[in-house]
């Protein structure tokens, strides 16, 4: 993925979003994030088992916003004990045509670094370190608003969370953002 790829037209009309949890219950964060997505896109909310994630994603989702705990070794475990590595999840998303995978639950950076390999993959990957309470929903709403009206993810992200430390709003969530498909527009 090169810099020039950020500017190629890669537009999705009718973006479909899956907001899911690998936990048995849908908690308030899942519901709140799903509500924000539903303002802009067709959104499905569900609890998911690791064993069925490939089958579910084959239904044609463009964005997967998942709540999961990631171990220090980069392994995700669902509510029945099934596991998947971060890299395997990335691969399943790629095979299913997902453009954005967002790990929305707070995890340690070491957990993501150890086994969420996305380099060279045509997938945007956001990994949450700190949600920052209600600020997460506000940031997500602003980001999706910019994206829905034509901004690419990296452009929208940079407008809301500039890299200049003096300009950063402490209310934004702390995330690792990998722009492997930076030119995609999600409408």
pLDDT tens sequence across 52-106: 999 999 999 999 999 999 999 999 999 999 999 999 999 999 999 999 999 999 9
By the 10 Å C-beta count (0-12 exposed, 13-18 middle, 19+ buried), 9 is classed as exposed
**Contact yes or no for 18/57 (Cβ under 8 A):** yes
The domains located in the chain, with CATH, are 3-181 (3.40.50.720)
Considering only residues 163 and 71, tell me which one the structure prediction assigns the higher pLDDT.
71
**Contact yes or no for 72/114 (Cβ under 8 A):** yes
The pLDDT value recorded for residue 171 is 77
Q: Which helix (H) or strand (E) holds 20?
A: strand 16-21
Sign for the CA dihedral angle at 170, 175, 176, 181 comes to negative
Distance (Å, rounded) from C-alpha 183 to C-alpha 179? Answer: 9
- As a whole-number percent, the residues of the chain with pLDDT over 70 amount to 91
Whole-angstrom CA distances from 1 to 8, 123, 176, 184 are: 11, 9, 17, 12
pLDDT digits (tens, 9 = 90+) for 164-173: 655 555 578 9
pLDDT band at 145 (very low <50, low <70, confident <90, very high): very high
The pLDDT value recorded for residue 47 is 95
Angle, alpha carbons 65-71-72 (nearest 5°): 125
Angle, alpha carbons 163-169-170 (nearest 5°): 110
């Amino acid at each position: 993925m090169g810099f020039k790829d950020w500017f190629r037209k890669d537009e999705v009309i009718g973006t479909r979003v899956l907001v899911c949890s690998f936990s048995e219950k849908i908690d308030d964060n899942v519901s709140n994030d799903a509500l924000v997505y539903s303002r802009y896109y067709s959104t499905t909310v569900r609890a998911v088992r690791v064993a069925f994630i490939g089958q579910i994603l084959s239904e044609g989702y463009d964005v997967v916003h998942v709540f999961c705990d990631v171990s220090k070794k980069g392994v995700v475990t669902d509510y029945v004990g099934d596991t998947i590595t971060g890299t395997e999840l990335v691969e399943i998303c790629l095979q299913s045509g997902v453009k954005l995978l967002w790990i929305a639950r707070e995890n340690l950076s070491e957990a993501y670094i150890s086994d969420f390999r996305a380099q060279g993959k045509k997938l945007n990957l956001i990994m949450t370190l700190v949600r920052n309470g209600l600020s997460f929903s506000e940031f997500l709403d602003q980001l999706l608003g910019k994206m829905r009206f034509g901004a690419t993810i990296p452009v929208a992200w940079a407008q809301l969370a500039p890299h200049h430390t003096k300009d950063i709003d402490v209310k934004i969530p702390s995330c690792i953002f990998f722009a492997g498909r930076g030119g995609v527009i999600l409408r």
